[in-house]
Amino acid sequence: MIKINLLPGVKRKRSGSAKDALLGQMKDLGARVKDPMLIVAVVAWVLAAGWLAYGFLANTKKMRDLEPRLEQAKDEHRRYRNLMAEKRRTESIRDSLLAQIGIIRTVDGDRYTWPHVLDEVTKALPAYTWLVTLNSISPAASADSADTTAPALQFQLEGRTVDIQAYTRFLRQLEASPWITDVTPLQASTVVEQQRAVTAFQIRATFTRADSAYIRTVPMSQSVR
C-alpha cells in the first residue's frame, strides 16, 4: 500500500517500540558484518573481559575477607614474640641465680661439716664416756655426692670410758647415724688415769652427706612477739 505525506517538512513518526528498533539495528549490524571470525573474536573478547572482571571482584572480596585473619595473625605474632622475649629474660635471670648459688656453695661448702660431725658424735656418745681428741685425717670431695656443700671427711677420735660395754654401744650408735659411715675401731686398751682404770679407744670414721629425708632445715631468724 502506498502512503502519501500531505504535510511537507514534517517527518513521519516511526511506529513500533524501542525494542523493535534495537532488534532492527542488530539485524542491520548482522547484515553488514559478513566475517564470522570477527564475530567469534568479539564474543571471545567480551567473555574474557567478563571473566577478568569476575576474577577481580572475587579476589577483592577474598582480600577483604582475609584482612581480619591477617590482623589476627599479626597480633598473635606480636604476643608470641613478647612471650619469647620474656622467656629469654627469665632464663637469663635463672642462669644468673644458679651461677651465684654455685659460687656461694663453692665458698661455703664445708662451713657446716664440723658442726654436723660434732653433733652426730655427741648424740652417739654414751654416759660415762668422753672424748680426748677429734681430728680430721684427709678431707676430700665425695665421689658419690654431686653437692659440693657436703664433702666427705675422714676423722679419727680418741676417747675414754669406764665401761667396755659403753664403748661397744658407742660404736653401734655411730654406725646408726645417717651422716657417719665406715666406722672402724682402731685400738682399745686399759689405762690408768687419776688412779683409776679406764678403757682408752681410738675410732676412725667418715662423714658424708645424708639423704634428704634426714635433713631438717630451720629459719635463721624468727620474729618474737
How many domains does the chain divide into?
Answer: 2
> Which of 85, 107, 129 is the last residue in one of the domains?
107
DSSP, collapsed to helix, strand or coil, labels residue 149 as coil
Q: Which helix (H) or strand (E) holds 62?
A: helix 36-107
Q: Which domain holds residue 162?
A: 113-211
Residue 67 lies in a domain: yes
- Do residue 199 and residue 117 come from a single domain? yes
- Do residue 51 and residue 65 come from a single domain? yes
- Residues 208, 181: contact at Cβ < 8 Å? yes
Share of the chain above pLDDT 70, in %: 68
- Do residue 53 and residue 140 come from a single domain? no
- Do residue 79 and residue 97 come from a single domain? yes
CA separation for the pair 141, 136 (Å, rounded): 14
Residue 38 lies in a domain: yes
- Do residue 121 and residue 153 come from a single domain? yes
DSSP, collapsed to helix, strand or coil, labels residue 224 as coil
Q: Which residue would you say has higher pLDDT here, 105 or 161?
A: 161
- pLDDT band, residue 148 (cuts 50/70/90): very low
> Which of 107, 137, 162 is the last residue in one of the domains?
107
How far is the CA of 155 from the CAs of 33, 65, 86, 110, 202, in angstroms? 121, 81, 50, 14, 11
Q: Tell me the range of 10-24, 28-42, 117-131 where mean pLDDT is highest.
A: 117-131
CA separation for the pair 178, 208 (Å, rounded): 8
pLDDT of 225 reads 55
Q: Which residue has the cell 665421689?
A: 143
- Residues 173-214 pLDDT 10s: 999 998 899 999 999 998 988 888 999 999 999 988 777 666
Q: What is the CATH number of the domain that holds 197?
A: 3.30.70.60
Residue 183 lies in a domain: yes
The answer to which of 60-69, 186-195, 215-224 has the lowest mean pLDDT is 215-224
What letters, b where the CB count within 10 A reaches 16 and e where it falls short, cover 119-135? Answer: ebbeebbeeebeeeeee
Q: Which residue would you say has higher pLDDT here, 10 or 204?
A: 204
CA separation for the pair 190, 164 (Å, rounded): 10
Q: For residue 82, count other CB atoms closer than 10 A to its CB.
A: 10
